[in-house]
Structure 1
Amino acid sequence: MARMSISNTPKTATIDDASAIGHTLARAFDDDPMMRWFFPDDATREAGLGRYFATIFTRQYVRHGVCEHTPAAAAYWVPPGAQDKAVPDAETIKELTAILGDQASLFQQAVEAAAGHGPQEPHWYLAVLGADPAVQGQGHGAALLRSGLAKADADGLPVYLESSKPSNLPVYEHFGFTVLGEIQLPGGGPTLWAMRRAPRPTSGAA
């Protein structure tokens, strides 16, 4: 029997989607090197990731970013001018510390290391993009990526991201990203690849 596909049309996420999005991204990032570094216990990783992604969605990105999802994927974007607002406040840090446990200090060091390589020019930032492996090949992640890139192109601005999974680099390069450099996370952590995509002219421009 053929596998039934589900709609991959992006929709704006609301606070009510936090739990479902957390579960989706937990599955999406189960094999991600950085997330395995933050959540090394196989038995508790999925639950921890679910709480982590739901927390940063609820407290940061749904408030100050542009969050979209399909039934099996989600993306967190930060538009220009909102980068300062989207950083974790004291209460968010407290919640994340409880979720991360012994790995909390490594997480804080990683955030600081990545922030130190952030661009100075106005830009859109792709903070999180993930799709449930069960729908691989059905275009859920690509649909969300195209949607965000279209917004950046409409603003005439570049897009930045950090990828922690080497196999994702060719995917992003297919969409016009280039690698700017590597960021070695402290404490023996994995490598991040900083990537930039230049803006493209929008169709129908005068």
Structure 2
Amino acid sequence: MDAKLLHYDRSDEQPSMERRDKQPTGTVTAMDMLILVFVLCIVGLLFWVLALGLVGLEASQRPEFSVVMDGFSDLEDHVARTFNLTIVINNFRGKSEICVGGEAVVLYGGVPLAGCGVQDLCVPPKCSTKFHIVAASGGVGLPRELADRMAEEKRAGGAVQVEVRVVSPKHRSFVSCMAALARGAAAPPSPCQGVFLSDESDGVRRTDDPPSFLF
């Protein structure tokens, strides 16, 4: 047999084989990238769900504050004002004790109407308590403008909404509640929102003794 026929030159196939070798490599790299992106998306989603769960768990462990408006005096412009309040602290879900102590203020439209001191009180975990306070104006009557505004709100909605704040500088906490001034049936508890004070920029004084409330 002719030696030339027996001689098989593979140089002609080498480029095509190299192309075939490169094609699978490129395909695998693209698949790897897709898989990596998919895995990263799954991991990110899991972290997001975990973060939401931790936030919800922390919120569920916070103490719950509420206020009950037991009674109040007539809100005339020439009559001293008093507000009988019950503050309720529910710390059943908490892991540490919660303390209050400082002053309570009743406001309408951001204007203080009455106030009083609040003695130090700490509620341990898995417990709840309530205490009564009487906020008074100290003999100062209601400004005429506020009295007219309250009367108009009462005619429109039947009840005047006031804000009750319990400020505890020593314990670095601030609680705000909205309560309705309504006659007749016993008022239901009004939920409160609480925050922790971080620095002097919140305008609350830092003293060892409860600050005085002047009216």
Q: TM-score, normalised by structure 1?
A: 0.22
Structure possessing the higher radius of gyration over alpha carbons: 2
Structure that is richer in strand per residue: 2
Structure that is richer in helix per residue: 1
